[in-house]
Amino acid sequence: DTGPLVGTPAPPAVTYTDERTRVVPVLSGNKLELRAERVAAVLTGQSAVEDAVRLEVRILGDAGPVALRLTEWRTKETREFALRGSLGSRAADIPLSAFRGEDDIWGVQLVGEGAPLTVAAGPGAQDGRYALPGGRELYAAPNPSGDLVLTDRAVQPVVTAFTWGEPGELILEGVFPAPAADSHELVLRHGGHREEAVLGLERGDGDGFRAVLTPAAVEGPGGALPLAEGRWYLFLREPGERDPQAYRPLRARTSLHPDLPAEQAVNGRDFTLQRRHHDRLVLESSSALPAGERGAYGQRVQRERYAGLRAAPAGEPRPAVLYSSFDGRQYSDSPRAVHRELVARGQDVEHLWVVRDQQAAVPEGVRPVALHSADWYEALARSRWIVTNTHLPEWFERAEGQTVVQTWHGTPLKRIGRDLAGAPHADAAYMASMERRSAQWSVLVSPNTFSTPVMRRAFGYAGEVLECGYPRNDLLYAPDRDTVAATVRERLALPEGRRVILYAPTWREDRPRRGGRHGFDLRLDLEQARASLGDDHVLLVRRHYLVGGSVPDTPFVRDVSRHPDIAELLLISDVLVTDYSSVMFDFAQTGRPMVFHTHDLAHYRDTLRGFCFDFEQRAPGPLIPDSAGVVAALRDPEAATAGHREAYERFREAFCDLDDGTAAAGVVDRMLKGERA
């Protein structure tokens, strides 16, 4: 049965049936081919001798080769070395000086009488590694076809053993002959959206290392969460290294290849240690949904079930609230504030939270509902209330007795919805669906009086609007906000006395998408900022939820993109750096300085998105196009923003006119309106 092998990133290991015969699995398109081959020469040993590598071979036939030839597979350059010994056992010494310190791969053949003989690595052959100058090595091991190749490369970490332990632990052991002074950390990097997870690494005596992973519970700012669905490549890197080209990929020793893939199921999710590109290690995280609910067919079945549940004469909807924040990516934003208000009032309702791919941790008393699962479809059909800050599916229809609260997630500086008509990346089908989608809302929450007509027009919405401000900003007015701020600073391990800078740019439609997210175009020079601002500051980097990538943590930089709620970050930040993100309207509640890094202002304004008002005239802080100017402003943000004090006050008057710390209470009052006591 070749089914499980279709689409695997590396073919199964070569198998020898006897000394002279091997079976080479080859993946060709979506097919597995098995090629039976005769072996003419085999490697029997390798070792370091003075400044050379000695390769010992046995000829399995009558040929009489006189030299060992290396051929670089790209340039076709060849080098030959004399063979000595008897016909059955011969050896050649290859000086390490023959390798030039470039990323070369040399095939090995024996030449002399007749056709050249390719040297097979042979069953049970051990990989060899030999030090070259400049932090490089010569690695001698078989290629996917089982033939010996010599690879001139930067020193790589090689995993020599792995174990799936309990509960759900993956233990990796290996060798990495790096200088003793170099410290390294283990990094898992998603092959699609490039997000990273950083784990500890134990270095033993000598060159050994050991790492213990728990893929179902990786600690991070969002709590202990499973690795998101997809392929996670394994690397070692020096702490703070930002260039992925400098990461060192973990490779599997050849003797481990027959044991891979190795799978373990944890909490209904499969994690598989796998090979890709022959010997690169990758950890694959499967979908969190049961097999029957995945894919187009599984989702079609659930849609049909949803329609039946919604239409069934089952009486009133069940007393439950279904919350959704950024389509299940977070426990955050206005839905979080509404949930807390309902809990504080002691309402006897069930709290359901949409969770996408197990990537959000919810508090006690809340039941997570997996996005696109059977439970999710049922909750959409039967919950008495739905509180969401993004659009519901286009096929959703509000049931009788059901209340849908649309909080949305930002004051519209940039154009949204139907107002995007004519923009180069506008989605015509999405815009055409606005009026139909918004007709399913019972009430739309408006953050300020400016937004109400803009959102009505952009969404084609003619229903009830609740002008009460954003529940998510209630935290900025809460009596215990100082206590909350101290807790957040402690959780993020921010040193006392340091000024906190929050860098939160928006996303851009014209950045390439990978793994469902747009690329992270980091235009702020982090090294320049560190050198200029020194040890007195900490820079918190917050990517938009639609943006992938990662920023390695250092004492100066912290990637807080996975922190559950940005409102907590606003609470602890002394200054905000953004571009055109709606976070500016929330941060304005604090009265603290804002600096705008507008490196692509003309393009964003005139081509990409466009604005709902004259941002350049009304901005509550300086518009600075270059990174050096932003860093200079951050040295003394009060002085840099002094000329914008009047603009800041007018900005607050226009866009913070409704926020007073009671928005969540207003939303809950509306939800419970008409409910039986």
Instruction: Please tell me the predicted confidence (pLDDT) of residue 378.
Output: 96
For residue 562, give the 3-state DSSP assignment.
coil
Per-residue pLDDT reduced to its tens digit, 201-223:
998 878 999 999 999 999 887 78
The closest alpha carbon to 577, from 537, 617, 624, belongs to 624
Instruction: Please tell me the predicted confidence (pLDDT) of residue 8.
Output: 56
HSE-CB of 363 using CA atoms within 13 angstroms: 10
Q: Same structural domain for residues 599 and 631?
A: yes
Instruction: Please tell me the predicted confidence (pLDDT) of residue 610.
Output: 87
- For residues 262 and 198, what is the distance between their CA atoms, to the nearest angstrom? 22
* Residue type for position 581: S
Answer whether 641's CB lies under 8 Å from 596's CB.
no
- Among 473, 502, 523, the domain-final residue is 473
Instruction: Please tell me the predicted confidence (pLDDT) of residue 29.
Output: 79
| Mean pLDDT across 44-68 | 91
Instruction: Please tell me the predicted confidence (pLDDT) of residue 675.
Output: 67
Residue 5: other Cβ atoms inside 10 A: 15
Q: Same structural domain for residues 625 and 528?
A: yes
| Residue 410: CATH number of its domain | 3.40.50.11820
Q: Which two tokens stand for residue 67?
A: 């030299």
Q: Which two tokens stand for residue 35?
A: 């090629």
Is position 508 within any domain? yes
Q: Same structural domain for residues 318 and 281?
A: no
The closest alpha carbon to 217, from 226, 230, 208, 209, belongs to 226
How many residues are listed for the chain in this entry? 677
| Residue 105: CATH number of its domain | 2.60.40
- For residues 66 and 116, what is the distance between their CA atoms, to the nearest angstrom? 11
3-state helix, strand and coil shares in percent for the chain, rounded to the nearest 5: 25, 35, 40
- For residues 47 and 52, what is the distance between their CA atoms, to the nearest angstrom? 9
Q: Same structural domain for residues 182 and 329?
A: no
Instruction: Please tell me the predicted confidence (pLDDT) of residue 4.
Output: 37
Is position 15 within any domain? no
pTM score of the predicted model: 0.90
Give the helix/strand (H/E) hosting 170: strand 170-175
Q: Same structural domain for residues 188 and 222?
A: yes
* Residue type for position 281: L
Is position 10 within any domain? no
Answer whether 272's CB lies under 8 Å from 261's CB.
yes
The closest alpha carbon to 329, from 293, 277, 370, 273, belongs to 370
Angle at the Cα of 370 from the Cα atoms of 369 and 376, rounded to 5 degrees: 65
- Among 426, 451, 473, the domain-final residue is 473
pLDDT band, very low/low/confident/very high, at 315 (cuts 50, 70, 90): low
Answer whether 185's CB lies under 8 Å from 219's CB.
no
- For residues 266 and 285, what is the distance between their CA atoms, to the nearest angstrom? 11
HSE-CB of 210 using CA atoms within 13 angstroms: 8
- Identify each DSSP E strand in 491-618 by its residue range: 499-503, 513-514, 517-518, 537-541, 557-559, 575-578, 594-597
Percentage of residues of the chain with pLDDT beyond 70: 96
- Residue pointed to by tokens 């000598």: 206
Answer whether 256's CB lies under 8 Å from 161's CB.
yes
| Mean pLDDT across 606-635 | 94
- Among 285, 316, 347, the domain-final residue is 285
Query: How is 64-128 classified by DSSP, letter by letter?
Result: -EEEEEEEETTT--EEEEE-EE-SSSEEEEEEGGG--SSSEEEEEEEEESSS-EEEE--TTPPPE
Q: Same structural domain for residues 308 and 255?
A: no
Instruction: Please tell me the predicted confidence (pLDDT) of residue 262.
Output: 95
- Residue pointed to by tokens 């571009």: 579
Per-residue pLDDT for 267 more than 90? no
Angstrom CA distances, 74 to 71, 110, 251, stand at: 9, 19, 22
Is position 153 within any domain? no
Is position 250 within any domain? yes
Per-residue pLDDT for 6 more than 50? no
Q: Which residues pair with 236 in a beta bridge?
A: 186, 248
Per-residue pLDDT for 3 more than 80? no
Per-residue pLDDT reduced to its tens digit, 601-618:
999 898 888 899 999 999
- For residues 350 and 375, what is the distance between their CA atoms, to the nearest angstrom? 14
Is position 450 within any domain? yes
- For residues 292 and 469, what is the distance between their CA atoms, to the nearest angstrom? 42
* Residue type for position 429: A
Per-residue pLDDT reduced to its tens digit, 271-313:
999 999 999 999 999 999 999 999 999 999 999 999 999 887 7
pLDDT band, very low/low/confident/very high, at 5 (cuts 50, 70, 90): very low
Answer whether 137's CB lies under 8 Å from 177's CB.
yes
| Mean pLDDT across 469-498 | 95
Q: Same structural domain for residues 72 and 163?
A: no
pLDDT band, very low/low/confident/very high, at 43 (cuts 50, 70, 90): very high
Residue span of the structural domain in which 390 resides: 302-473
pLDDT band, very low/low/confident/very high, at 507 (cuts 50, 70, 90): confident
pLDDT band, very low/low/confident/very high, at 676 (cuts 50, 70, 90): very low
The closest alpha carbon to 9, from 287, 261, 262, 270, belongs to 261
Q: Same structural domain for residues 357 and 454?
A: yes
Round the average pLDDT of the chain to a whole number and report it.
92
Q: Which two tokens stand for residue 376?
A: 């999710």
- For residues 603 and 610, what is the distance between their CA atoms, to the nearest angstrom? 9
Percentage of residues of the chain with pLDDT beyond 90: 79
Give, as one character, the DSSP assignment of residue 608: I
Instruction: Please tell me the predicted confidence (pLDDT) of residue 222.
Output: 79
Q: Same structural domain for residues 420 and 343?
A: yes
* Residue type for position 487: T
The closest alpha carbon to 661, from 352, 408, 337, 399, belongs to 337
- For residues 125 and 48, what is the distance between their CA atoms, to the nearest angstrom? 16
Query: How is 498-553 classified by DSSP, letter by letter?
Result: PEEEEE-----TTSPEETTEE-----S-HHHHHHHHGGGEEEEE---TTB------
| Mean pLDDT across 654-664 | 97
Q: Same structural domain for residues 398 and 376?
A: yes
Per-residue pLDDT for 7 more than 60? no
Is position 592 within any domain? yes
| Domain count across the chain | 4
Residue 548: other Cβ atoms inside 10 A: 22
Q: What is the edge-to-edge ordering of all strands in the sheet holding 15-18?
A: 15-18, 21-28, 31-38
- For residues 55 and 128, what is the distance between their CA atoms, to the nearest angstrom? 10
| Mean pLDDT across 577-602 | 96
Q: Same structural domain for residues 176 and 264?
A: yes
- Residue pointed to by tokens 């009060």: 638
Q: Which two tokens stand for residue 651?
A: 């900005």
Residue 181: other Cβ atoms inside 10 A: 5
- For residues 213 and 224, what is the distance between their CA atoms, to the nearest angstrom? 12
Give the helix/strand (H/E) hosting 306: helix 295-311
Per-residue pLDDT for 500 more than 90? yes
Instruction: Please tell me the predicted confidence (pLDDT) of residue 381.
Output: 96
Residue 183: other Cβ atoms inside 10 A: 10
Cα 113 to the chain's mean position, in Å?
56
pLDDT band, very low/low/confident/very high, at 677 (cuts 50, 70, 90): very low
| Residue 570: CATH number of its domain | 3.40.50.12580
- Give helix 663-672 / helix 333-344 axis angle, nearest 10°: 70
Angstrom CA distances, 317 to 128, 335, 345, 375, 384, stand at: 67, 20, 21, 15, 5
Is position 186 within any domain? yes
* Residue type for position 136: R
Answer whether 187's CB lies under 8 Å from 205's CB.
no
Q: Same structural domain for residues 459 and 534?
A: no
